[in-house]
Every structure is written in C-alpha cells, then in structure tokens.
C-alpha cells in the first residue's frame, strides 16, 4: 500500500497521512489471494476503523472549531487589551495635561494674587505714609497753634498785668489825690 505523508499542521513535528474519509475506509477493497485474510474479519475491522475514524474526525472538527473559537476569543481579548492600553495611555496623557493645565492656572492665579497683594500693600504703605504725614502736619499745626495761643495768652496776660498796673497806678494816683481830701475830711 502506498502512503503519502505531509507535515503535521499542529506543530508536533510528526508527519500524518493524507486524510482518509469514512467512505474511503468503508469501500476499500483488497486483492484476493490464495491464503489471504478472512473477508469477514477484514470487513469487521474496516467497519470498526471507519467508526473510529468518523468519531476521530468529528472530535478533530470539534477541536478545530474550539481552536478557531479560542483563536477568535484570543484575538478579541488582544484587541480589547490593546484598546484598554491605548485608553489607559490616553487617560494618563489627559491626566498629565489636566495636571499641567491646573498647575499653570494655579501659577497664574498665585501670580495674580501676589501682584494684587503687593498692590494692596503698596497702597496701604502709601496710605500709611499719607496718614503719618497728615498726623505730623496736624501736630505741627497744633504746635504752631499752641505756640500762637500761648503767645496770645502771654500777650493778654501782659496786657492784663499792664492794665492792672496801670489801673493800680491810676488808683494810686487817684488815692494820692483822694487821701488828702479824705484826711482833710477827717480833720
């Protein structure tokens, strides 16, 4: 019997015969020879081989179908994994961008707040300087006013004192005139 062999597509390194069909086995005829095998035993054996071969072909088909299903499942899972990885990378990039943007925005806000704080401090210092200048001006005016008032009071006191002296002098003068009259009256 001439057997043709081909490489095993399942990677075991073994070679397998060309696929036989159940029909090939069932209809296989052998040449008759004088002292050959029992026809009944050969037919029974070929029937059993055909049944086993049919069962093995069905199992092989099921295994190939399972392999195809699993290959498709693996392909789908690989595609999902790739999509998830791409989504994860995109999410990480977006997170980094959001963080960078938030940092930039917070830096701008902090910068603006610092400028505003410096402006407020500058205005407060200017206002404080103005208030201190005004207080010093008022103190100076108060000192001038107190000095002027003191000068006026001293002037008025001198005038009063002078008038009192003048009045006393007039009174004394008047008394000098009157005492003679008063002494002359009493005599």
Instruction: Write the CA distances from 167 to 2, 156, 157, 163, 181, integer angstroms.
Output: 172, 15, 14, 6, 20
Query: What is the mean pLDDT of the segment spanning 43-71?
Result: 91
Q: How many CA atoms within 13 Å lie on the side-chain side of 91?
A: 6
Q: What is this structure's pTM? A: 0.42
Average pLDDT over residues 100-126: 94
Asked if the structure places residue 174 within a domain, the reply is no
pLDDT at 180: 56
pLDDT at residue 3, as a whole number:
41
Answer yes or no: is 151 within a domain: no
Beta bridge partners of 6: 16
pLDDT score of 172:
63
**Predicted local distance difference test score (pLDDT) of residue 69:** 94
Does position 29 have pLDDT exceeding 80, yes or no?
no
pLDDT band at 173 (very low <50, low <70, confident <90, very high): low
Look over the chain and give the mean of its residue pLDDT values, rounded to a whole number.
82
Radius of gyration for the alpha carbons in the chain, expressed in angstroms and rounded: 66
In a domain, 158, yes or no: no
169 within some domain: no
Q: How many domains does the chain have?
A: 1
Examine residue 139 and state whether it is found in any structural domain, yes or no.
no
Would the pLDDT of 19 be above 80?
Answer: no
* pLDDT at 5 exceeding the cut of 70: no
Listed in sequence order, the residues at least 6 apart from 54 whose beta carbon sits closer than 8 Å to its beta carbon are 22
Over residues 56-71, mean pLDDT? 94
Residue 125 resides in a domain = yes
Domain-located, residue 34 = yes
Q: Is residue 141 part of a domain?
A: no
The domain of 22 spans 5-131
Instruction: Find the helix or strand (DSSP H, E) in which 15 lies.
Output: strand 15-17
């Amino acid at each position: 019997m001439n057997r043709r062999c081909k490489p095993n597509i399942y990677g075991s390194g073994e070679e397998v015969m060309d696929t036989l069909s159940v029909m090939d086995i069932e209809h296989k005829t052998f040449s008759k020879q004088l002292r050959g095998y029992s026809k009944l035993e050969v037919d029974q054996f070929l029937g059993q081989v055909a049944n086993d071969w049919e069962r093995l072909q069905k199992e092989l088909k099921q295994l190939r179908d399972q392999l195809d299903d699993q290959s498709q499942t693996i392909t789908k899972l690989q595609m999902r994994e790739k999509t998830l990885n791409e989504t994860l990378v995109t999410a990480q990039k977006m997170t980094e961008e959001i963080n960078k943007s938030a940092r930039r925005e917070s830096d701008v806000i902090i910068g603006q707040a610092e400028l505003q704080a410096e402006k407020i401090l500058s205005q407060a210092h200017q206002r404080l300087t103005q208030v201190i200048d005004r207080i010093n001006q008022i103190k100076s005016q108060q000192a001038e006013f107190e000095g002027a008032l003191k000068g006026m009071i001293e002037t008025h006191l001198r005038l009063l004192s002078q008038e009192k002296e003048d009045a006393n002098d007039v009174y004394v003068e008047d008394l000098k005139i009157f005492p003679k009259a008063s002494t002359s009256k009493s005599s």
